[in-house]
Structure 1
């Protein structure tokens, strides 16, 4: 997070294992949007009603939801790689079977099997990518997010192109591409160590006893109800062929990806998680109401669906981060519990929407979807204080992040300390040693804060390093400094979500500790990456009440200001 590189590390310098899983991620994330362009064709060719076709979503998502409760237990018993490979194999088999069947009921059934494979894959893919990354975990996470965005955007395009040839095309296309990903995963991804402790299959359900997690999960259920109502039924009133539908949902997917990766973190940093979600859910409710009111006008529906991509991208990112902020349980358990409720909402919505559409008219499901978006606002408001406390870390709620964990025996703090922030990087020691010289010159004790980040993407969260690894890194710094006669103490800062949040958390800690100076090294991440998830150094500099300096082993320490930060970003380019 703060290594003294003169140039930014590229997220694309990763081992073949990371690339293999990233390719599989692209294909997996295609799964939902891929079938949207062929929904009308399926109804026409298989003599099925829209409500019958919508069960493709219901079977897929309900099985995914239930499977999310057990994937942690499976992964902890057989290991992440085997779980990943099993999920890929299941997707290959059931996608091919869906393409080979001649009945809508057969496709619905095989999509259920596809959902099982999807749950096994998505529950472990982020963790495998992070564990396999040797080009820096930040780069690996950016690669994962890129794969997600590419899959969401390209899925409808590929579905439209293949669906223009035959409705079977998208299913066989996924099976073929996922088979390639399966072979690459088997060949390039190494065996990963199994967790020391087996996760109970009941742990996700027990975790829902925590008010914060349950509140966010119910909000996600309502949100996904509206979201999948739109995905399942919007293609019909558009009156477009498969190719044209593919282009519409590709434009939608591009907005989802862009607002998820680039804009959601910036809005969160400026306004806070809850206010952005309130406005976003209101915006989605309005968009769905426009679709309902203009359901007989294809142009209105097309424009509204595309615009909804911006709101959905923001919501997907911030909802998951909110879940992780308020959850006092292990990340995988929180992910499974949240995923269960989220996918249950998405699975039930198309089924109910079909029944309503058959009994009334096509506008009613969209009005209900608008209502669920709006109902999610008071649900979120009921947990507002928990989320706000989690973001500001006042210590008034259950254990939340960002958190600071002392390491080793505290050194006497008879003078304001110099705090140095470092991450899991091979040049972290050089940054600490440079900060130690600054502390010695000012007669101050040194505090080493090791930043341990949790990556949050979609409904998944993965720690970039274990607690034991973080403690070992801090202990190594303290032992080395002790040998040099430098008085030092250690802390581990565990953060969730973007780097900017961790920077603000460190600024609060520095103020509470009465720090003289906070020292950081050059960020190894490029300007695009820092724009996407926020800059740790920028957030720290703007929030800190003390001096923030850039330390470099080859240069004199220099204070950071808004102007110097701009210069640093220019140099990184």
Structure 2
């Protein structure tokens, strides 16, 4: 689930030859990674408190799901301008701008008096998060030791820890009041702002400034468009699980937080430790086939368990989806960076514009289907999306030749 700005050409070390440890890094890299953890916490932060928000603001589940939709829709569109901005003001200033926006809008979210206000403030939060995450990987790559692949592992570790700890923080602070997690995020992001201000040096700006139209032009490349639209279908399935499941489980904030903390741990472990090894063994595209197929099977299992054995069986399968989601997050990140000859900042912006649309559509559509038809139907749609993603990879495999060496 990553983005990049102007990155250097990977060396052999970054390709896997004599790979350096991703954990031996300068303090500036760890400061950026800490802020990335908090940024990714914001994705799952609201999960445990979705039912509480619906109750506290007298809103339907589908209305509350717009917290995800507004967040990811703005994130998707903002991806088209993040490269334009960061190539002009520099990586450090772009990070600080993103962090400042998150601090402001997270605090405003905590002061909301209606679901409409909360949805609007989450949109502003999404703008800040887009600015931050679109630059964080590039900054980590520029400051890290060990090459591009080590930087991706560290970045995905931050993503996994953030996704895992977000629901836990949401449960603990949400048990006090549903407003608590928003204020907690604002405080942590302010800490990240201070750390990056003090510890991170400004990096050299790209030689060529990015135009706003460049990411859309980059999608004309067959490999990048295939990767992006495959990821759109995958993200629909991913965020169906993340955004709708809290309503189906019918648990307390602590219960939902525990379920998604366990899920997030599997996301982190599979993305950091399993994905690189599996990719080395079978290749990048086959790993995507395996991960998407496993996610499809697990969503079918959720449907079966919900129909015939509701209870802990559903929880087990929901938690289990963390494994293929972690695999997909890491491999899609590297695929988007390697599949085309466009500058990585441009390719990443175009790719993320398309794939985050899946994250924007899924929460509202899934919750609406669950409200009005059946709570199991969203997972059926998610499984169909996984099948569509696999089919797209197969039908357009001739565009993915650049990934054959990975």
Give the TM-score normalised by structure 2.
0.90
Q: Per-residue deviation at 1:13?
A: 4.9
Distance 1:75 1:276 in 2: 32
Q: Which of 180, 184, 190 in structure 2 is aligned with 1:179?
A: 190
What's 1:362 paired with? Answer: 375
d(CA) in 1 for partners of 2:395 and 2:167? Answer: 36
Give the one of 31, 35, 53 matched to 1:24: 35
Q: Report what 2:135 is aligned to.
A: 124
Residue in structure 1 matched with residue 349 of structure 2 by the alignment: 336
Q: 1:250 matched to which residue of 2?
A: 261
- Superposed, which structure 2 residues align to 1:62-77 within 5 Å? 62-77=73-88
Residue ranges of structure 2 left out of the alignment (5+ in a row) = 1-11, 14-18
User: Paired residue for 2:402, among 373, 390, 408?
Assistant: 390
C-alpha change, 1:145 and 1:285, in structure 2 (3 Å) is: closer
Give distance in 1, aligned partners of 2:20 and 2:396: 39
- Whichever of the two has the greater Rg, that structure is 1
Contact 2:75–2:356 (8 Å) recurs in 1: yes
Which residue of structure 1 aligns with residue 159 of structure 2? 148
Runs of 4+ in 1 over 6 A off after TM superposition: none
CA distance in structure 2 between the aligned counterparts of 1:52 and 1:334, rounded to whole angstroms: 33
Given that residues 68 and 339 in structure 1 are in contact (C-alpha distance below 8 angstroms), is that contact kept between their aligned partners in structure 2? yes
Residue 160 (structure 1) aligned with residue 171 (structure 2): yes
Which residue is equivalent to 1:38? 49
1:248-295: per-residue Cα shift (whole Å, max 9, x none)?
Answer: 111101111111111112222222222222222122112112223433
Q: RCO higher in 1 or 2 (8 Å CA, sep ≥ 6)?
A: 2
Q: Distance in 2 between matches of 1:148 and 1:137?
A: 19
1:316 partnered with 2:306:
no
Tell me the residue number matched to 1:221: 232
* Distance in 1 (alpha carbons) for counterparts of 2:66 and 2:81: 23
Unaligned 5+ segments in structure 1 are: 3-7, 394-500, 502-573
- CA shift digits 1:73-126 (9 cap, x unpaired): 111111111111000000000001001112111111111001000110011112
- Partners of 1:366 and 1:333 in 2: how far apart? 33
Aligned residues: 387
Q: Taking structure 1 as the reference length, what is the TM-score of the superposition? A: 0.65
Pick from 286, 298, 303 the counterpart of residue 287 of structure 1. Answer: 298
1:325 is matched with: 338
| Higher-strand-fraction structure | 1
Contact 1:237 1:301 (C-alpha < 8 Å) held by counterparts: no
Q: Which has the higher helix share?
A: 2
Q: How does 1:90-489 map to 2 (within 5 A)?
A: 90-133=101-144, 137=147, 142-295=153-306, 297-387=310-400, 389-392=401-404
| Partner in structure 1 of residue 8 of structure 2 | none
**CA distance in structure 1 between the partners assigned to 2:221 and 2:253 by the alignment:** 44
State how far apart, in whole Å, the 1-side matches of 2:270 and 2:27 are. Answer: 29
2:5 corresponds to: none
Q: 1: distance between equivalents of 2:306 and 2:60?
A: 18
Counterpart of 1:429 in structure 2 is none
Say if 1:19 and 1:371 are closer, same or farther in 2 by CA, change over 3 A. same
